[in-house]
Chains A and B, each alone.
Chain A
Amino acid sequence: MEIKSKHVFFLFGCVLLIAVILSALYAFSPLSERPHRSSFKRRFASETLLTERASVDLGFNSFYFAGLAPDKIYLGNYSAPLLLEYMNTSLTEIEQVRVKLPELDSLPSPARLRMVVDSPYFFVNHGGMPLILRGRVGSWEARAIMPDSDYYFVDAEPLSANSLVLRSFSTYFKGYQLAKKTSLQAPYFKFNHDLLQRQGDGVFSVDGELLFSKELKRVIYIYSYRSQYIVADTSLNLFFRGRTIDTFNTANVSVLEIPSQNKSVLASLPTIVNGHACVSFKYLFVQSNLLSASESEERFERSSVVDIYDLSQGRYVESFYIPDFKNLKMTDFRVVGKRVIIMFSRYLVVYEMNEALPT
């Protein structure tokens, strides 16, 4: 009896030991730290205060923005790759359509398929097959359009009915690069190796988001881990390199090469400076993860902050907050005129700014 209770006592001792170790790890981990306050300043103006106009529960958190048209929001779905859902901006009429791909009899890694709606066309892209298909909105049937399409890519952004800008991984340069692909005249393919400037490794230090401003006819690339964006014309000639307001000039990533698996991985937690981004007219909207010098820490923790840049002049305009919705952080967003369309995991919410930004 005595031996038994001695061992029960020991076991509880072990449980206590583990609890103490885990709590200590937590206490000294970045999880329990307050956000680091940077030295740059933000300007918050009243015209970009948001008012909620409509919201809808999409039922799943696997949706992504496929495109916008006047009074139309198109959503794709990672889990149901051929399903396209669209709705008006009051979110009252929601419809679904199943895209037809008659030339295709199988779809490997379906989650890599992306749909982009750019009325009157829509594109179905799959960088791993690789696949670039185009169809008409309404008929919802897409077919191959590119003369030679054996070039793998990571992202694709349509520039026009017949051309796209691609981000791809070059095995020769061991890094990402941008290229333009067109179906009209040779060369069907044009690289620009110099647009993305690496800082050390060619993947993580240049990782970012590829955007296209239809109104300005400019390709925009914003780095995720450092305070820079690139503006180029539709032939991928550099227009200018812009700076975001924060001070992360160098990507804070440590990368490890694994020769046995022929890949490189991140070896520590990176600082993601710029989260999601989108363009609307001449403005670039960037969700920033950094707390500025004078803003309220409490407010920052309960919202996502978006910085606005004027792409025609390359300057910072102002910032606004996207408050958390049902305790969920914003997962992606788009801006059309006065409207800000925001995804919070499975919820889609439409907000309106007090005033439209000057055009």
Chain B
Amino acid sequence: MVDGANKIIALMKKLNFLDVIVFLFMFLFIYAAVSKLVEYDLFRAQLGKSPLLTRYAGIFSWVVPGVELIVAGMLFIPRYQLAGLYGSFILMLGFTGYIAFILTFSPYVPCSCGGILGGMGWTEHLVFNGAFTMLAIAGIALYVRQDAKHQVVV
């Protein structure tokens, strides 16, 4: 038992927290994009019912999953990882801002999330998105620190 616990601690130490963040975002965005594209018609219809996006539902229904996939791809390629983290930050902040906006200004609340994300209530969603926005900031900070260290070594 103690041995097992020690092994987990050792693994945690070895595990780079930045890698965990990058992996989480890649997973989140690919999952979110795929679940939107699989039921594209439904996703588009849901955007069409959002008072904020109704006029641009056609554009946004492609742009949102497209950008999610591009950001996930950038996170995968080391050279573009920082840009990918910034992309994640912008996306998460955008989603968070959008939800906050809808909850405050819209006379009714439409839903447009796919998969298990659609099962969340709006307030839960706001908390979830807020947490991921923070995670993106943490990712950028960690990346910058590691990058600085590498530069010193080189």
Contacts and interface: CB of A to CB of B under 8 A. Distances in A.
Nearest to A260: B39
A80 interface: no
Interface in B36-68: 39, 41-42, 44-46, 48-49, 51-57
Interface stretch (A11-19, A137-145, A319-327): A11-19
Interface string A258-294: 1011000111110000000000000000000000000
A14 B144 contact: no
A268 B86 contact: no
B101 interface: yes
Interface in B7-25: none
B140 interface: yes
B57 A256 contact: no
Q: How large is the interface on A (under 10, 10 to 19, 20 to 34, 35 or more residues)?
A: 20 to 34
A261 B46 CA distance: 15
A269 B49 CA distance: 5
Contact of B52 (A18, A26, A267): A26
Nearest to B87: A14
B42 to A, nearest CB: 5
B90 interface: yes
B144 A31 contact: no
B9 to A, nearest CB: 30
B54 A268 contact: yes
B25 to A, nearest CB: 15
Contact of A22 (B39, B56, B97): B97
Given A256-B45, A267-B48, A18 B57 contact: no
B137 interface: yes
Contact of B86 (A14, A19, A258, A260): A14
Contacts of A22: 52, 94, 97-98, 101
A255 B137 CA distance: 41
Interface in A1-51: 3-4, 7, 10-11, 14-15, 17-19, 21-22, 25-26, 28-31
A207 to B, nearest CB: 15
B42 A11 contact: no
Given A18-B90, A18-B94, A267 B45 contact: yes
B140 A11 contact: yes
Contact of B106 (A15, A31, A260): A31
B48 A254 contact: yes
B42 A30 contact: no
Q: Binding site of B, secondary structure by majority: helix, strand, loop or mixed?
A: helix
B56 to A, nearest CB: 8
A256 B41 contact: yes
A265 B112 CA distance: 13
A26 B51 CA distance: 9
B50 to A, nearest CB: 8
Nearest to A6: B144
Contacts of A269: 48-49, 51, 54
A47 B48 CA distance: 43
Contacts of B56: 25
Given A26-B105, A258-B42, A260-B39, A268 B49 contact: yes
A254 B48 CA distance: 10
Contact of A14 (B53, B89, B101): B89
Contacts of B94: 18, 21-22
Contacts of A266: 45, 48-49
Contact of A268 (B42, B48, B98, B105): B48
Given A29-B55, A260-B39, A269-B54, 6 more contacts: A14-B86, A18-B93, A26-B101, A256-B42, A258-B39, A268-B54
Instruction: List 8 A-B pairs, minimum CB-CB distance, nearest first.
Output: A267-B45, A268-B48, A256-B45, A267-B48, A18-B93, A14-B90, A265-B45, A31-B51
20 contacts: A11-B137, A11-B140, A15-B93, A18-B90, A21-B94, A22-B94, A25-B52, A25-B53, A28-B55, A29-B52, A30-B55, A254-B48, A256-B42, A256-B44, A256-B45, A258-B45, A265-B42, A266-B48, A268-B48, A269-B54
Interface of B: 39, 41-42, 44-46, 48-49, 51-57, 86, 89-90, 93-94, 97-98, 101, 105-106, 137, 140-141, 144, 148
